[in-house]
Structure 1
Amino acid sequence: MNKILPRILAATIAAALIAGCAATPQEQDETRGWSAEKIYAEAKAEQISKNYDRSNKLLEKLEARYPYGRHAQQAILETAYNNYKGQEPLLALSAIDRFIKQYPAHPSMDYAFYLRGLVHFNESQGFLSFLSKQDMSERDPQAARDSFESFSQLVTRFPDSRYAADAQLRMGYLIGALADYELHVAKYYYKRGAYLAAANRGKHLLETYGNTKQVEPALGVMVLAYDKLGLTELRDDAKRVLLKNYPDTKVLDPESLQGRAWWAPW
């Protein structure tokens, strides 16, 4: 009997400890019993304080407890914003895409496209560092293209949106950046003797970014590249267009391809 009692006592203590541990998480959950409005307000307060991880945890609780309310819908966008500011672009884009798919008629859809454009725009900053010494042919412009596409969807579908003006400014910036990239690559090919690739890149610039200041030097690359290839008819056509639109051009000097003097940075 004396041996059994300690065993029973030990088992009782162990059971109490297990029960206590199991209850601890709920006892420590300060949001227990909170309304959707209160959780959302607290999440926004943490967001304003730049406590993005804490804000996201609250937003997760909000979605889990009140999945069908308006605050849960907005919580997806707030999560996307937190991840954008917290340097988590993939998580931000995932949340935005989920919002667009689930709530295509939501009144904040314009903001969703705007935020997606911002995420891609931020990701494109390495590509947009044109004054660096890195070889532009090795840069990937996809993030810049994705950013432009998102902003374009915004201004096309929601022209009166409060975000449309800023989106249009960023689109102009991106168009210049992408045209600049094409020009860099065309020059890169020309300097390495890949004249057909250089001419084709110049042609692509004309067809895609025909309203940019990079058109003039792109025509110059085409004239010089076609000349190297012995394609005199194409050379003369490109030269005719160049001189008609830019009669005082100085881009036909082959030596200028070695530097930046023949085209002004946009």
Structure 2
Amino acid sequence: MNTSVKGGRGRAGRVALIVAGLAGVSLIVSGCQSDPDIDITAYAQSIEPADVMYNQGLANLQAGQLTEAGRKFAAIDKQHPYSEFARKGMVMGAFTDYRQGNYSEAINTASRFLSLYPNDEDAAYAQYIVGLAYYRQIPEVTRDQRTSARAIAAFTEVIERYPDSEYVEDSQAKLRYARDQLAGKEMQVGRYYQERKEFVAAANRYRLVVEQYPNTRQVEEALARLVETYYAMGLESEAQTAAAVLGHNFPDSQWYADSYKLLKTRGLEPRENKGSWISRAGAVLVGT
């Protein structure tokens, strides 16, 4: 019995709270309606159609008014979320951020587009923008190359996921440059070790360049440095093989001429050992 009374009082209390809440809402609404500074109808009428806003954004973009263009594209997403023009505006907003040098914002917006619309016709373009934004941040070869690795991942995604898109050719060109940067960094570290006569550590870096970045400009020097480091360690067969692969791929290279001269100081000459990892790697080098 007591439980029933308490339950009844609880229900009565909740009803009272609901009534009081509704009364409060009524007061707020009536207050808004009587407030001369708030005109709901006028506010609704001030929202422009999505297509109009999108075209205005494009016009601003073409006129070089990038900040205003970015505002228009962002406003579409706020006022007309999940509409066709909000979707298109998101991609153009990412491009506008990229043009302004706001690379982090461009990456974030394009990545958000890809997560929402992975199969959209503009998905390839969004992925390309991600690659471009990372690409523009690639530092000098002497600095950390994590951005180069991210650019490589983004452009690889364009090439593999959207092989028929118009962005593949440029992605491939920029991919080669980014890979060359990574290879260049490995060469820098290898030379550092070699100068300190840490030949094993140096040879490992040069080997990485030959095996992982064969189609870069760095591979020619990497092979010559392998000749030097293996020669210094007394690994004559490996040094000869590195020189032979270098000569086969870059016969007119000064690096090859210097390697050949170095071997001659011990009465050696380039000779390829087919069982060596260098011989196997040489099959996929630039000059083959």
- Structure 2 length as normaliser, TM-score? 0.68
Contact preservation (8 Å) 2:50, 2:85 = yes
Matched, 1:39 2:53: yes
Matched, 1:224 2:228: yes
Matched, 1:201 2:208: no
Which deviations, in whole Å up to 9, do the C-alpha atoms of 1:202-232 show, x marking residues without a partner? 0000111123343232122122223334445
Question: In the alignment, what sits opposite 1:238?
Answer: 242
Question: In the alignment, what sits opposite 1:181?
Answer: 185
C-alpha distance in 2 between matches for 1:245 and 1:224: 18
| AA matched with 1:142 | R
Distance 1:244 1:99, change over 3 A: same
Contact preservation (8 Å) 2:145, 2:181 = no
Question: In the alignment, what sits opposite 2:75?
Answer: 61
Q: Which moved more, 1:217-226 or 1:233-242?
A: 233-242
| AA matched with 2:232 | K
Question: In the alignment, what sits opposite 1:123?
Answer: 137
Question: In the alignment, what sits opposite 2:257?
Answer: 250
Question: In the alignment, what sits opposite 1:161?
Answer: 165
Which deviations, in whole Å up to 9, do the C-alpha atoms of 1:8-35 show, x marking residues without a partner? xxxxxxx9xxx56x559x98x8982311
Contact preservation (8 Å) 1:31, 1:39 = no
Contact preservation (8 Å) 2:93, 2:109 = yes
Question: In the alignment, what sits opposite 2:96?
Answer: 82
Contact preservation (8 Å) 1:77, 1:95 = yes
Contact preservation (8 Å) 2:53, 2:73 = yes
Q: 1:140 aligns with which of 140, 144, 149?
A: 144
Question: In the alignment, what sits opposite 2:16?
Answer: none
Q: 2:216 aligns with which of 208, 212, 219?
A: 212
Q: CA deviation at 1:199?
A: 0.7
Q: CA deviation at 1:190?
A: 1.4
| AA matched with 1:198 | A
Q: CA deviation at 1:247?
A: 5.3
Contact preservation (8 Å) 2:111, 2:127 = no
Matched, 1:99 2:113: yes
Q: CA deviation at 1:162?
A: 1.7
C-alpha distance in 1 between matches for 2:174 and 2:45: 40
C-alpha distance in 1 between matches for 2:98 and 2:44: 27
Q: CA deviation at 1:171?
A: 2.3
SS in 1 for 2:257: coil
Q: Which moved more, 1:193-202 or 1:34-43?
A: 193-202
Matched, 1:112 2:126: yes
SS in 2 for 1:211: coil
Distance 1:85 1:217, change over 3 A: same
Q: Which moved more, 1:192-201 or 1:174-183?
A: 174-183
SS in 2 for 1:123: coil
Question: In the alignment, what sits opposite 2:66?
Answer: 52
Contact preservation (8 Å) 1:114, 1:167 = yes
Aligned residues: 226
| AA matched with 1:188 | Y
Q: Which moved more, 1:235-244 or 1:146-155?
A: 235-244
Q: CA deviation at 1:111?
A: 0.5
Q: CA deviation at 1:157?
A: 2.1
Once superposed, what is the RMSD of the aligned Cα atoms?
3.0
Long gaps (5+) in structure 1: 1-14, 128-135, 255-266
Post-superposition, which runs of at least 4 consecutive aligned residues in structure 1 deviate over 4 A? 230-234, 243-248
- Structure 1 length as normaliser, TM-score? 0.73
Distance 1:213 1:78, change over 3 A: closer
Distance 1:218 1:251, change over 3 A: farther
